[in-house]
Structure 1
Amino acid sequence: MLDVRRLRMLQHLAAYGTIAATADALHLTGPAVSQQLAVLEREAGVPVVEKRGRTLCLTPAGELLVAHAEVILGDLAAAESDLAALKGGHHGVLRVAAFASVARTLLPHVYRALSRHEDGTAPTLTLRLDEQEPDQALEALRKHRTDVVVAHSYTVLPRNFPHHSQQEFLMEDPVVLCVHPERARSLGLSPGQPADLARLADDPWLTPGPDTSCYEMIQRACGAAGFVPDIRVRSSDFSVLLTLVAAHAGVALAPRLAVPEPHDGVSLHPLLAPVARTICTVVRPGTARNPDVHQFRSLLEQAAARHGSPPTADS
């Protein structure tokens, strides 16, 4: 009979890629992992890993077992979550990974709600937050280094989520054009009026770095408008970009949630061909009903509802 613990170890090997990294993640020694793999192969009756050069790879049988392991371990996680809920929850430590604009705008509401205890007792749930871009955060989720990811996916740039992961919608975040008010007037744009990106083809552009999905979104949005942006400034700090827009350095596209307040000297406009990002929470299979995960998601949803659909007109 197959042992669930060894299936979990094989799942980790598939995620981490090496025996050394798997051993480190599971707090085991390399020889212990190798020994357990050998036992698993005897249980399965077929090889589950094979060497290709210096790399250890899963065999077709190993890949099949990992696929089944995802389902089995997801069901076990769901059972544990239901038991925890039945007992009233364990209220422990929850590891969260979220991108910067959500960490800046929504998560403070969650922290304030968790710290609000009229009887003076300590918070029942402790968050450990890592600010990470979605790609890195989802990889951390796959490797069991985080419990909940707050991620996004642009309408012009769909995102691949880990197999069997569970996503839950949080909010839509529109992308807006950020220009100096004088440039807006020269384009005949009144406050909040939708802008045609094609009319900005000859402007200097300010963008995040090329390692971000926002950069790729801008490339695709401008490409759909018929031009390649002339990028003069790259900074993944949107406060830097908006400050430079206010200094006549150029124009920028930004998700509305990423625009710092106040944005003096900057005129914001929705796009004539709308672009938005969908923000969602992502968890591993079977953990959505965990009381701590449920509490965090509920508080985050409340924060998103209070934030509402951000206005695109000047304020």
Structure 2
Amino acid sequence: MLDVRRIRLLRDLSVHGTVTATAEAACLSGPAVSQQLAALEKEAGVPLLEKQGRVLRLTAAGRLLVEHAEVILGSLAAAEADLLALRADGGGRSLVRIAAFPSAARVLLPLLWRELAAGSAEAPAPAQAPAPRLHLTEAEPDRAVQALRHGDADLAVVHAYSLLPRDLPPGCEQHRLLDDPVLLAVPAGAADRLRLSPGQAADLRRLAGEDWLLPGPETSCHELAQRACGAAGFVPRKVALASDFSVLTALVGAGAGVALVPRLALPADTTGVSLHPLTEPVTRTVSALTRTGEARQPQLKRVVELLHTVSARHRHPGE
């Protein structure tokens, strides 16, 4: 019989990469983790780990067991969430830690905070459990996923572009929030020169000769801009790099060049900027990720539901 606690340690090793990091996450000593993994190998009857230099790597059998571990641990998390819901008694407020990419942190998270505050103010104390406390960390999608899988966040708000898909990480569930269209931002004067009327769809092939303002190369948004221009048959002539879309939009308004900007990332002030959808649409799907089974926990479930609510409000303002 395989021991679930040892299986969890093997899965954690696959996430953290080293016995030392796994031991720290599990509040155990390194030798204790090594002993538990050795015992798991005896239970399994096949080698689960092998040394490559000074590093332990999963064997094929180890990778297979980790795949099963994600399912097993997800089912356990779901069972714990259901039991927690049954015994919920309106006690103390729980903490939900969120890692979100910058424009979601700027637009969606303030709306979420207001919804939680409004719900607490409107509902009588016995009507529902107290609203959870939120802790926000701004993080690009890769870092947000890493925080979620390492147990440093309970929910990750991430994005994936239609031209740059992102695989669902192992042991995670996806809660799709909205599809965010990517727009072409051009200086108002350039729009006249390019014969683009307000709101008219733009063909990127006509922008090959323009100066381009790109997100920083450390972001997936940079790769998206490169791919979109490449699909249109040219390499963008970049004159500025900035990871803040507010900076890029301000530079567009100043006439420095053109940029691709997701609608969610647009600042409130777009003076001097003409915005256009693309004839070959590109979208950025925004999702919330939770560890498998944990979204059924009452407070985390409440946060995910409210994220759906505020995302719908962003898609259809005024409703």
Q: TM-score, normalised by structure 1?
A: 0.93
Instruction: Name 2:95's counterpart in structure 1.
Output: 93
* AA in 1 matched with 2:16: Y
Deviations 1:83-132 (A, max 9, x none): 11222377511121111111101110111122233389795301121111
Shift in Å, 1:32: 1.4
1:41-78, Cα deviation, whole Å (9 max, x unpaired): 23223332221111111223322221221111111001
Q: Secondary structure at the match of 1:267?
A: strand
After TM superposition, give the deviation of residue 309 of structure 1 in Å. 5.1
Contact 2:148 2:156 in 1 (8 A): yes
Corresponding letter in the other structure for 2:50: E
Matched, 1:113 2:115: yes
For these two proteins, the number of residue pairs brought into alignment is 310
For residues 194 and 138 of structure 2, the distance between their equivalents in structure 1, rounded to whole angstroms, comes to: 37
- Relative to structure 2, which stretch is displaced further, 286-295 or 138-147? 138-147
Which blocks of at least 5 consecutive residues in structure 2 are unaligned?
none
Distance 1:199 1:44 in 2: 61
C-alpha displacement at 1:164, in angstroms? 4.2
**Other-structure match for 1:276:** 283
CA distance in structure 1 between the aligned counterparts of 2:180 and 2:248, rounded to whole angstroms: 18
Structure 2 residue matching 1:174: 3-state secondary structure: strand
CA contact (8 A) 1:138 1:161 kept: no
Paired residue for 1:249?
A: 256
Code of the residue aligned with 2:114 in structure 1: it is R
Name 2:246's counterpart in structure 1: 239
% identical equivalent positions: 56
Q: Distance in 1 between matches of 2:3 and 2:281?
A: 51
Query: Following the alignment from structure 1 to structure 2, what is the Cα–Cα distance between the partners of residues 307 and 289?
Result: 25
Per the alignment, residue 189 of structure 2 pairs with 182
- Selected match of 2:138 from 131, 134, 137: 131
The CA deviation at 1:287 is 1.4
Q: Tell me, in whole angstroms, the C-alpha distance in 2 between the residues paired with 1:287 and 1:21.
A: 23
Moved more, 276-285 or 251-260: 276-285
- The counterpart of 1:215, out of the listed 216, 222, 235, is 222
Verify: 1:23 aligned to 2:27, yes or no.
no
Contact 1:114 1:123 in 2 (8 A): no
Q: Residue type matched to 2:226 in 1? A: Q
Taking the aligned partners of 1:123 and 1:227, their CA distance within structure 2 comes to 54
Q: Which residue of 2 aligns with 1:264?
A: 271
Structure 1 unpaired stretches of 5+: 311-315
**Kept in 2: contact 1:204–1:229 (CA 8 A):** yes
Which stretch has the larger CA shift, 297-306 or 228-237? 297-306
Q: Which amino acid aligns with 2:313?
A: R
1:190-229 deviations in Å (ceiling 9; x for gaps): 1111111111111110011111111111111111111110
Cα shift at 1:239? 1.2
Q: Which stretch of structure 1 is more off in the superposition, 60-69 or 249-258? A: 60-69
| Contact 1:174–1:274 (Cα < 8 Å) also in 2 | yes
- Residue type of the alignment partner of 1:264: T
Residues 172 and 309, structure 1, Cα contact 8 Å, conserved in 2 = no
Check the 8 A contact 2:102/2:139 in 1, yes or no. yes
Residue 75 (structure 1) aligns with: 75
Aligned to 1:44: 44
SS at match of 1:288: helix
Q: Name the SS for the 1:190 alignment partner.
A: coil
Distance (whole Å) between structure 2 residues aligned to residue 195 and residue 73 of structure 1: 48
Q: CA deviation at 1:167?
A: 1.0
* Residue 195 in structure 1 maps to residue 239 in structure 2: no
Would you say the 8 A contact 2:131–2:299 is kept in 1?
A: no
